[in-house]
Amino acid sequence: MKVLFATQYGMLAASSRTRVFQYLPYLQAQGIETRVITVLPDRGLGGSQVQVTRSPWSKLRYYCWAAWRTFGCGLQVWWAAREAEVLLIQKVIVPAPVRWLLRWRRPPVVYDFDDAIFTTEVRRQHWLVAWKQRRNATGLPAMLSLADHILIENEYNAAFAARYCPAISTITGPIDTRRYTPASEPGTLREQVVLGWIGSASTLSYLQLIREPLARLGRRFPQLRLRVIGATAVELEGLPVEAQSWTLEGEVEGLRSFDIGLMPVPDDPWTRGKGGYKLLQYMATGLPVVASPVGVNCQIVRDGDTGFWAHTPEEWEEYLARLIGDPALRRQMGRRGRAVMEAEYALEVHGRGLAQILCQVAGTRRGKAPRPRLPGAGGA
């Protein structure tokens, strides 16, 4: 079977890496031929992190470049799809002329999106934000209507997708548990206790939601540190903050330097559709977590078992203080979280599920699904 993948980003972007690239070795081992066409390569990834409210003209230049790339790559995808048995489009919203071509001659289409791209992460009113909202408001339903099957990250996004396509599968993550592993030396042997957060400039503002609890904890626990990976450091009175740049090669070691993983998010239409990938990374590396109970976070974190749901600043302070002062509890929750990742969110589990979905979708046009050479049932 031949599968053509069209990805929004390259390997360095978490969404394309987790939703496509990390699957490829497994799929190829099952005899599935794969080809990938990437719309926005890694060299342009910085433009996606430019904040529209701070640098609107830089963002406009990025959008123009992205539009040109999307149209050109869309034509390339349409032409290459002649030789494929399944076309999987990851998050790309191609323009109307390309959609028309794909309807005219194409293999079965699987459409994958991991975030609530039917809305926007920017809540302030801005003309570029309004343009993006209008584009997604028409473009995403058109892409979903084009699809024979839809892959989503959580039930919030599934409710939206169900309006346009009845065939939907949920795959949260997944996480490569062979790559993301706990530190060989437990963090409890360190004198310091490190609160950790990994992300990007676009989500750094979420840490401001727990600014006051963190500052109070810093005054209560002199050994406490906050380590931020992937963005500049935030300034917190009373709590030392360290910032590290993100690299794919150094990501796992950075996570292993944490003792507790943080995921504060506001409750809004954008965050309810997020995939919770930070939590998967933390828990796969054996960390206890504290998270806002928003969207898929409530599914990933088992409150009181693998971590805590913190609704208010007071709960953030209470739960973090409990973990800071109890190394044994940190170890217990970390082990349980790691076990959950291996059983329910591991790449091996969902790789089988994705392969089965692709084979089933490929058979929809031929009237008979090919039988994949798989070792077992999947968890899609």
Q: Where are the domains of the chain?
A: 2-174+346-362, 187-344
| The predicted structure's pLDDT at residue 236 | 84
Residue type, 136: N
Q: What are phi and psi of 263, to 5 degrees?
A: -145, 75
Asked if 266 and 323 count as a contact pair (C-beta separation under 8 A), the reply is no
Give the separation between CA 52 and CA 56, rounded to whole angstroms.
5
Asked if 48 and 62 count as a contact pair (C-beta separation under 8 A), the reply is yes
Token pair in block for residue 347: 């790449």
Asked if 37 and 71 count as a contact pair (C-beta separation under 8 A), the reply is no
Asked if 133 and 152 count as a contact pair (C-beta separation under 8 A), the reply is no
Asked if 124 and 53 count as a contact pair (C-beta separation under 8 A), the reply is yes
The burial class, CB within 10 Å (0-12 / 13-18 / 19+), for 224 is buried
| The predicted structure's pLDDT at residue 380 | 33
Asked if 6 and 72 count as a contact pair (C-beta separation under 8 A), the reply is no
| The predicted structure's pLDDT at residue 80 | 96
Say whether 86 sits in a helix, a strand or coil: strand
What proportions of the chain, in percent to the nearest 5, are helix, strand and coil?
Answer: 45, 15, 40
| The predicted structure's pLDDT at residue 65 | 87
Model confidence, pTM: 0.88
| The predicted structure's pLDDT at residue 375 | 36
Token pair in block for residue 168: 């939907």
Determine if the peptide bond prior to 213 is cis (ω within 30°).
no
Asked if 160 and 116 count as a contact pair (C-beta separation under 8 A), the reply is yes
CATH superfamily for domain 2-174+346-362: Glycogen Phosphorylase B; (3.40.50.2000)
Asked if 28 and 121 count as a contact pair (C-beta separation under 8 A), the reply is no
Q: According to DSSP H, which parts of the chain are helical? A: 14-19, 24-29, 45-48, 56-80, 96-104, 127-146, 155-161, 211-220, 251-256, 277-284, 297-300, 313-324, 327-340, 347-362
Cβ contacts of 140-144, under 8 Å, gap ≥ 24: 140/93, 140/113, 142/93, 142/96, 142/99, 143/89, 143/92, 143/93, 143/94, 143/99, 143/111, 144/111
Asked if 264 and 316 count as a contact pair (C-beta separation under 8 A), the reply is yes
Q: pLDDT per position in the chain (380 positions), as tens?
A: 999 999 999 999 999 999 999 999 999 999 999 999 999 998 876 655 545 556 666 777 887 888 999 999 999 999 999 999 999 999 999 999 999 999 887 789 999 998 888 875 554 566 566 666 677 778 899 999 999 999 999 999 999 999 999 999 999 999 999 999 999 765 545 679 999 999 988 888 899 999 999 999 999 999 999 999 998 878 888 899 999 999 999 999 999 999 999 999 999 988 898 889 999 999 999 999 999 999 999 999 999 999 999 999 999 999 999 999 999 999 999 999 999 999 999 999 999 999 999 999 998 765 544 444 333 333 33
187-344 and 2-174+346-362 share a CATH fold: yes
In CATH, the architecture of 187-344 is 3-Layer(aba) Sandwich (3.40)
Q: Beta partners for 194?
A: 225
